[in-house]
């Protein structure tokens, strides 16, 4: 079987390139703990209102003892509840979101906040907003004919 | 030539493919115009999402499956010089798949299956939609069986001889598709269909999405395979040269077959129900599957360089101008490779584990796959059709000028459409929306890009109509073409014998089996260990 010397060099270059890219990604995953949002945790999406965490009066921003924040939200056709969330800038915020009905996704453009929201599972994602301002919280997964209208607001404020 | 009617079968398959393509392309124009917000009178989420669902099914499942089948039947019979393994079964597969498409189309066009081509449970479509999908998949399985049996019977009568590269590619695709389609088949047969019929009450959405992800990456290689096979086995000859390396083609086909199935979790990076360890594992495979594409790029460009220099091209780039650009397949491949370079770059960003967060489910993603699928794959499909048409119909192409115009229009139209689409994604626009009713300054920033896309979509529609016109008029009234023998490219170094792993698939199936168990074993079993809650059906 014939392998051209030039071809051999190209194969080596290709392998080095792929190892370099995956090496950088793996490096960040380990060193900076930079992962996409995995959270294997189940929940009965039809009974969210009866759970201690996702009942209507429990939703919203809560401060943890260590100074970080937890935002608890429910995604349902067609909105994210509570419909307005206010968090301080440069503070780690953990979002915990459950779907009350179908598949949804949440994305705040120009930030790292993004996760799928899957009925039957709890999504959890931790991020930190670097700039103050008003952001839309958009549903980015098709959830029905009203999908375009599913969005809420996020305000990132400067600490007093 | 061969009297077993393989050309008739191939033509039947290709006509279904391109008819579906034309309908889907025109729906695409409607979607771009609707979403632009420039014509409020035609805005309708019900129509829009019915159109998107139909467009996706026609382009992703119908154009591709029928193209793969038609291309496979014809290249198998011509390269092996033997009749179809079972002609009646091959026609049965055609009719099964076609009936499946018509059933699904009924549900889609009446707005009863606006669940997009990715199904998205717990949104529920009309059962007829899922039944149609099953028939299409079963039809494609029969095609796989035909390909495998044809290679086996050929090898039996010629022990030790190398299988022709074109057939090796067809069988690699058939085996890969059998492995890959098992995921979506399980989802439809055991979850969605009984659930839509009311036989079971709920489905586990996590399991359904995992099964779909099993299929979702390999399916794009199922679509890409005939294009790559044509680049290796038809293009070098059309360009007036030789294939740079035959074994490298086999290596690429084997890598595509083995690696493209156990890597589906890059579609689930942002989903909660799979652990990061499995996502990382699938990420490594995702990058490995770029290797056969990079090898293919090298081999094909080297083959073209040989052709260009044989035709008097000199200097570092002079050979490019010397290529026979009047050959439809050469122009289609050249433009296709250009778009593949752009689309591949975007793909590396999507595959990048954490960086994908910034573009996930934004307009960037459809921009990306329209470059690769709508650009590269579709262009090479056109090139294949133009290349095979004189052989299949016995008539020359009616107007070579219009053929080249059609290819260029498509490539330019796709760039004008897909580049702004990427920008929209970087500016945070979600995908799969029919309008932008958000109260944010971003909406104003999106408008110019959406307007630009309308012009791109107009070029694409014009090109789609022209393709249809070219194929119809050539078949109906092209000059008679007596030379209907399909000749394949010769490699620079003739292949006289091959090591067994490069001439068959047994060892590769075993490797894939163990890799699949590692990649999907626990991630699927976990749904039966966890205390999961299924989802009831919802209408759109």
Give per-residue pLDDT as tens, B71-96.
Answer: 999 999 999 999 999 999 999 999 99
Asked if residue B122 has a cis previous peptide bond (ω within 30° of 0), the answer is: yes
pLDDT > 90: percent of chain B: 97
A64 and A4 part of one domain = no
A68 and A93 part of one domain = yes
The mean of the pLDDT values for chain B is 96
What is the average per-residue pLDDT within A83-110?
96
Which residues of B fall within a CB distance of 8 Å from A34?
354
CB contact A66 to B (< 8 Å): no
A50 and A4 part of one domain = no
A108 and A142 part of one domain = yes
- Nearest by CB: B361 against A29, A107, A149: A107
Higher local confidence (pLDDT), B242 or B2: B242
A53 DSSP 8-state letter? T
CB contact B532 to A (< 8 Å): yes
CB contact B502 to A (< 8 Å): yes
Buried/exposed code over B482-502 (b: 16+ C-beta within 10 A; e: otherwise):
eebebebbebbbebeebeeeb
pLDDT digits (tens, 9 = 90+) for A31-49: 999 999 999 999 999 999 9
Give me the pLDDT at residue A2, please. 76
A91 and A57 part of one domain = yes
CB contact A120 to B (< 8 Å): yes
What is the number of alpha carbons within 13 Å of residue B257 lying toward its C-beta? 29
Q: Contact A143/A118 with Cβ under 8 angstroms? A: no
Closest CA to A111 of A137, A88, A91: A137
Q: Find, in chain B, the residue whose alpha carbon is nearest to that of A105.
A: B361
A5 and A65 part of one domain = no
Give me the pLDDT at residue B4, please. 54
Q: Contact A82/A91 with Cβ under 8 angstroms? A: no
- Provide the token pair at B235: 């293009």
Tell me if A1 and B428 make a contact (CB, 8 A cut-off): no
Phi, psi of B527 (to 5 degrees): -70, -20
A14 and A50 part of one domain = no
CB contact A10 to B (< 8 Å): yes
Give me the pLDDT at residue B364, please. 97
Is the Cα torsion angle B90, B91, B95, B98 positive or negative in sign? positive
Which residues of A fall within a CB distance of 8 Å from B439?
136, 153
Tell me if B272 and A37 make a contact (CB, 8 A cut-off): yes
Residues sharing a CB contact under 8 Å with residue B520, sequence separation 6 or more, in sequence order: B210, B214, B262, B264
CA end-to-end span of chain A, whole Å? 72
A81 and A107 part of one domain = yes
What is the average per-residue pLDDT within A85-95?
96
A146 and A71 part of one domain = yes
- Nearest by CB: A34 against B49, B354, B433: B354
A23 min Cα distance to partner chain B (Å): 10
B493 catalytic residue (yes or no): no
pLDDT for B2 beyond 70: no
A45 DSSP 8-state letter? G
B432 catalytic residue (yes or no): yes
Cα(B80)–Cα(B170) distance, integer angstroms: 12
- How many domains does chain A contain in total? 2
B217 catalytic residue (yes or no): yes
B533 catalytic residue (yes or no): no
Tell me if A119 and B428 make a contact (CB, 8 A cut-off): no
Structural domain that includes position A29: 1-35
In a domain, A40, yes or no: no
- Provide the token pair at A21: 């890219």
Phi, psi of B395 (to 5 degrees): -135, 140
Does the B6-529 domain belong in CATH 1.20.210.10?
A: yes
What is the number of alpha carbons within 13 Å of residue B326 lying toward its C-beta? 4
Give me the pLDDT at residue B1, please. 43
Q: Contact B370/B414 with Cβ under 8 angstroms? A: yes
Tell me if A118 and B288 make a contact (CB, 8 A cut-off): no
A146 and A67 part of one domain = yes
Pairing of strands A122-128, A92-99: antiparallel
- At residue B5 the predicted structure's pLDDT band, cuts being 50, 70 and 90, is low
Cα(B145)–Cα(B110) distance, integer angstroms: 34
Q: Contact B180/B516 with Cβ under 8 angstroms? A: no
Tell me if A29 and B274 make a contact (CB, 8 A cut-off): no
Cα(B450)–Cα(B363) distance, integer angstroms: 11
A143 min Cα distance to partner chain B (Å): 7
B486 DSSP 8-state letter? P
Q: Find, in chain B, the residue whose alpha carbon is nearest to that of A38.
A: B272
pLDDT for A160 beyond 70: no
For residue A121, what is the domain's CATH number?
A: 2.60.40.420
Cα(A96)–Cα(B270) distance, integer angstroms: 14
B514 catalytic residue (yes or no): no
Every domain of chain B and the residues it spans:
6-529
- Provide the token pair at B276: 């990061």
Residues sharing a CB contact under 8 Å with residue A8, sequence separation 6 or more, in sequence order: none
The mean of the pLDDT values for chain A is 95
A145 DSSP 8-state letter? T
Q: Helices in B112-192 by DSSP H: which ranges? A: 127-157, 165-186
Q: How many CB atoms lie within 10 A of CB B360?
A: 24
- At residue B483 the predicted structure's pLDDT band, cuts being 50, 70 and 90, is confident
CB contact A139 to B (< 8 Å): yes
Q: Find, in chain A, the residue whose alpha carbon is nearest to that of B539.
A: A144
Give me the pLDDT at residue A3, please. 83
A105 and A84 part of one domain = yes
A92 and A119 part of one domain = yes
Q: Taking a contact as any Cβ pair under 8 Å apart, which residues of chain B between 383 and 442 contact chain A?
A: 427-440, 442
pLDDT digits (tens, 9 = 90+) for B380-412: 999 999 999 999 999 999 999 999 999 999 999
What is the average per-residue pLDDT within B356-371?
96
Active-site choice (B74, B221, B222, B265)? B221
Residues sharing a CB contact under 8 Å with residue B269, sequence separation 6 or more, in sequence order: A36, B279, B353, B356, B357, B360
Buried/exposed code over A71-95 (b: 16+ C-beta within 10 A; e: otherwise):
bbbbbbbbbbbbeebebbeeeebeb
pLDDT digits (tens, 9 = 90+) for B18-36: 999 999 999 999 999 999 9
pLDDT digits (tens, 9 = 90+) for A114-140: 999 999 999 999 999 999 999 999 999
B519 DSSP 8-state letter? H
pLDDT digits (tens, 9 = 90+) for B501-523: 999 999 999 999 999 999 999 99
CB contact A31 to B (< 8 Å): no
Strand ranges, E, within B289-337: none
pLDDT for B238 beyond 50: yes
């Amino acid at each position: 079987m014939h392998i051209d010397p030039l071809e051999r060099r190209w194969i080596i270059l290709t392998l080095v390139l792929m190892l370099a890219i995956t090496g950088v990604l793996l490096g960040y995953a380990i060193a900076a703990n930079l992962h996409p949002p995995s959270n294997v945790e189940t929940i009965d999406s039809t009974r969210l209102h009866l759970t201690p965490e996702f009942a209507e009066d429990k939703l919203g921003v809560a401060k943890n003892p260590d100074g970080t924040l937890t935002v608890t939200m429910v995604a349902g056709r067609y909105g994210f509840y509570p419909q307005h969330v206010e968090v301080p800038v440069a503070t780690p915020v953990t979002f915990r979101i459950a779907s009350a009905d179908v598949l949804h996704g949440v994305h705040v453009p120009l930030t790292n906040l993004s996760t799928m929201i899957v009925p039957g599972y709890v999504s959890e994602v931790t991020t930190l907003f670097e700039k103050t301002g008003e952001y839309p919280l958009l549903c980015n997964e098709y959830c029905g004919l009203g999908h375009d209208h599913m969005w809420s607001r996020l305000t990132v404020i400067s600490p007093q | 030539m061969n009297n077993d009617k393989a050309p008739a079968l191939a033509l039947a398959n290709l006509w279904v493919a391109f008819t579906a393509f034309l309908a889907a392309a025109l729906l695409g124009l409607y979607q771009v115009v609707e979403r632009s917000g420039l014509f409020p009178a035609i805005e309708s989420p019900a129509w829009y999402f019915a159109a998107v669902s139909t467009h996706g099914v026609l382009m992703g499942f119908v154009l591709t499956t029928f193209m793969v089948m038609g291309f496979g039947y014809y290249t198998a019979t011509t390269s092996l010089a033997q009749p179809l393994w079972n002609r009646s079964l091959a026609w049965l597969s055609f009719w099964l798949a076609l009936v499946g498409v018509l059933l699904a189309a009924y549900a889609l066009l009446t707005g009863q299956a606006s669940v997009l081509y990715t199904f998205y449970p717990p949104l529920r479509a009309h059962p007829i939609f899922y039944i149609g999908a099953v028939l299409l998949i079963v039809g494609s399985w029969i095609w796989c069986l035909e390909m495998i049996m044809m290679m086996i019977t050929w090898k039996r009568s010629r022990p030790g001889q190398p299988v022709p590269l074109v057939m090796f590619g067809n069988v690699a695709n058939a085996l890969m598709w059998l492995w890959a389609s098992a995921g979506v088949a399980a989802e439809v047969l055991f979850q969605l269909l009984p659930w839509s019929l009311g036989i079971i009450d709920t489905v586990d959405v996590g399991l359904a999405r995992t099964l779909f992800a099993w299929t979702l990456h390999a399916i794009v290689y199922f679509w890409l395979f005939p294009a790559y096979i044509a680049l290796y086995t038809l293009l070098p000859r059309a360009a007036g040269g030789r294939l740079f390396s035959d074994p490298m083609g086999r290596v690429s086909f084997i890598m595509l077959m083995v690696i493209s199935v156990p890597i589906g979790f890059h579609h689930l990076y942002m989903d909660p129900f799979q652990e990061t360890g499995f996502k990382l594992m699938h990420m490594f495979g995702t990058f490995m599957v770029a290797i056969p594409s990079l090898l293919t790029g090298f081999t094909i460009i080297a083959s073209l360089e040989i052709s260009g220099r044989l035709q008097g091209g000199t200097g570092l780039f002079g050979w490019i101008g010397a290529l026979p650009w009047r050959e439809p397949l050469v122009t289609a491949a050249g433009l296709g490779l250009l778009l593949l370079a752009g689309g591949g770059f975007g793909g590396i960003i999507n595959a990048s584990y954490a960086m994908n967060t910034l573009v996930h489910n934004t307009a960037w993603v459809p921009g990306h796959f329209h470059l690769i699928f709508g650009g590269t794959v579709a262009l090479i499909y056109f090139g294949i059709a133009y290349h095979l048409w004189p052989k299949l119909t016995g008539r020359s192409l009616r107007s070579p000028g219009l053929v080249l115009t059609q290819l260029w229009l498509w490539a330019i139209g796709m760039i004008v459409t897909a580049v702004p689409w990427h920008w929209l994604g970087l500016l945070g626009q979600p995908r799969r929306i029919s309008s932008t009713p958000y109260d944010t300054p971003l909406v104003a920033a999106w408008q110019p890009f959406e307007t630009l896309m309308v012009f791109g979509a107009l070029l694409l529609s014009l090109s789609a109509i022209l393709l249809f016109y070219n194929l119809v008029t050539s078949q109906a009234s092209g000059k008679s073409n007596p030379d209907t023998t399909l000749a394949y490219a010769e490699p620079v170094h003739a292949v006289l014998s091959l090591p067994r792993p490069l001439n068959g698939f047994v060892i590769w199936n075993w490797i894939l089996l163990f890799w699949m168990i590692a990649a999907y074993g626990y991630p699927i079993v976990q749904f039966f260990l966890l205390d999961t809650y299924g989802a009831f059906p919802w209408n759109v």
